[in-house]
Amino acid sequence: MKFKKFAAIILMSAMIGSMTLGGCGIKKSANVITMESDSADPIEVSMGYANFAARIQQANYDNIFVAYYGEDYWTNDSYAQDGKNMQESVKDSVLEEIETQCLLEQHMSDYGVEITDDDKAAIKAAAEQFMSDNSKAAIKEVGATEEYVERYLYLQTVENRMRKAIRATADTNVSDEEAAQKTFSYVKISLTTYTDDSGNEQTYTADQVTVVKKDATDAADKAKTDFDGTAEEYGYTVQTYSYGSDEKSESDGGFCDAVISAANEMKAGDISGLIEGTDCYYIIRLDSEYDEDATAKKKESIISDRQDEVYKTVTAGYKDAVTINVDDKEWAKVKFDNLFTAPSTTDNSDSSAAAE
């Protein structure tokens, strides 16, 4: 079990500079989340704990994003999505995660998951280290108590172990046919922009487009006998792409439909003519009608997707089975007004945010 880095990560993020301490008016003992059902005891989450979890999340965000987006990024509408600013979105995700973790804790026996006495001792030691490593000002600003830190680490451990146990129930049998992948090499010839010698993107003039099209036509003829050599001669970059029966359409994020259609009609070693895409041309060479390495990776991807889906289904079922009430008025008091900054430290101690 690895908890050492948890303390280091939060210490790095939660040290604060000159600021007015926040959290005014928060009723730590009030229940911000209540989950009830007919088949189990109610679950209650205190405002104090939820505030701590939110501020820890804020601290980790601040350590990364302030330098890129500025000190107002939490409430700046420029970074809003779906009508919510960053603060609102992150606070929502914190509540959702806490709800999920508490429900997973309630269902640990379903999957034979346990937190041992040794686990608890390691959690307690990490919490004590966190409290001793951080200044009183930082602890106050993040709303930490040793009890909250222990609870945070405990729920992280529960979530990790339950996720592993639930994902392990997914069907891992994937047929070769389902995962089969073809692989082609291709060059993409843009008809709109190019990168100049300084690395800047430029737009082709009409005259330049005429030259590009002629070069592409000539290259397509030459490529039929020497694909790689022609690409090098014309300065085209060769890339590879693997796909299978589940390839999405171009409009849904898949590869160019015209290219996939051409590849489906080719045999290994065949080289296409010039294929017209959206504002570009392609020339492709089918490298393999059944790429074993790509197929093996696809099998892993299919299994992972199934495991993710099982986990989502199970946790969604847990939430559907309970009535969840959130004290929105109390939760609105949590604000990310004061930013956390990293102290100058070279602590590279071994670590992990939660137990494995």
Check if the beta carbon of residue 76 is closer than 8 Å to that of residue 89: no
Cα angle 281, 285, 286 (rounded to 5 degrees) comes to 125
pLDDT at 342: 66
pLDDT at 2: 57
pLDDT at 137: 87
Q: Which of 62, 156, 149, 143 is nearest to 105 (CA)?
A: 156
Answer whether residue 355 shows pLDDT above 80: no
How far from the centroid of its chain's Cα atoms is residue 307's Cα?
Answer: 16
CATH topology of domain 182-289: Chitinase A; domain 3 (3.10.50)
Answer whether residue 354 shows pLDDT above 90: no
Check if the beta carbon of residue 61 is closer than 8 Å to that of residue 69: no
pLDDT at 3: 55
How far is 262 from 5, CA to CA, in rounded Å?
51
Tokens of 220: 């397509």
| pLDDT, tens digit (0-9, with 9 covering 90-100), for 80-123 | 999 999 999 999 999 999 999 999 999 999 999 999 999 999 99
* Domain ranges across the chain: 4-171+306-331, 182-289
